[in-house]
Structures are given as C-alpha cells and as structure tokens.
Amino acid sequence: MAMTIGLRRSQLASRGAALVLALALAGCSGIPGFGREEKPPDPNAYPEKYKTDLLDYLQTHASELEGVRNAALSGPALAQLAGSESRYIVCLRTEGAAARKDKMIVFYGGVITQYVDATGPQCATAAYQPFPELLTVVANMRKQK
C-alpha cells in the first residue's frame, strides 16, 4: 500500500509538471518569435508625434543646434524617395548667425529613420511654419552650459 501511494504521488507530480510545461509553452505563443509571426509595421504610418520625436532626436544630437536662432518646420507629407518608395517626411529649416540649414527627416512606420541634408526636391516647396518649441530647447541648452 505504501508503494501504491508513492507511485500515485510520483505520477501526480509528473502530470503536474507536464501541465505546467504545457501552460508555459502555450503562454509563449504570444511572444514575438514564439509561435506567432510578428506583423511588420506599416512603412507609411503617419508620424503622430513628429514634433516631440524630432525634439528628442535633436537633444541627443546637440551639435545640430549650435548657433540656431530661428527654426521652421513643415508638416508631415508623403514624398517619393528612391525608386518607387514613398515615406512620410518633414522638412526643418534652421537659421543661425552664419548659415541656414535645411534638413529632411524621413519616417518609417511613424519613427524617425533618417535626418539628412535636404538636397533634393522634397523640401524645395515645403510649407514651413515657425517652430518655437525648438528655440525653447536651444535656449534651455544654453542655460545648462
């Protein structure tokens, strides 16, 4: 009888462990790479937070803001880039004592992927609006020095 109870406990323990393992594996199916394929982002998702994302980017690249006294920004617009690919872009124009810079910011899936000189036609006809938020960031950075 003692042997029968020992076997039952052993069988219950084995079954319990198998149940826990099955539940754990079932839970992993919701983790990307485990059972479900991750849906790729829409490359042309509208960049909802384009201003705050750009300000965050520029704060981590402070050299881009040296000497800036005026700033203007266009709203997001779909633009044709290399080949037949279209992406949302915004155009940034900064002016300082010595120079004016025009930059094109490219978004993929609503996230900034490129910050480059605006040398092509994409920003040539951009409708720029004042971007005082950037001037506030520049002023705050000067105070911290």
d(CA 87, CA 108) in angstroms, rounded, equals: 7
- Alpha helices, H only, the chain: 2-28, 50-60, 132-144
Give the pLDDT score at 23: 45
Q: 19 and 26 in contact (C-beta within 8 Å)?
A: no
Domain count, the chain: 2
Same domain, 108 and 59: yes
d(CA 37, CA 20) in angstroms, rounded, equals: 24
Query: Quick one: average pLDDT of 106-113?
Result: 96
Same domain, 65 and 105: yes
Give the pLDDT score at 104: 97
Prediction pTM value: 0.72
92 in any annotated domain: yes
Same domain, 59 and 28: no
- pLDDT digits 0-9 by tens, 12-47: 455 555 544 454 545 555 555 566 778 888 999 999
- Three-state SS for 39-64 is CCCCCCCCCCCHHHHHHHHHHHCHHH
Q: 54 and 105 in contact (C-beta within 8 Å)?
A: yes
pLDDT category of residue 138 using cuts at 50, 70 and 90: very high
122 in any annotated domain: yes
44 in any annotated domain: no
d(CA 125, CA 133) in angstroms, rounded, equals: 22
For the chain, give the mean pLDDT: 83
Paired residues of 129 in beta bridges: 73
Same domain, 69 and 25: no
Token pair of 77, please? 């617009």
Inter-CA distances, 5 with 1, 10, 14, 19, Å = 6, 9, 14, 21
| CATH number, position 100 | 3.10.450
58 in any annotated domain: yes
Q: Which domain holds residue 8?
A: 1-39
Q: 81 and 104 in contact (C-beta within 8 Å)?
A: no
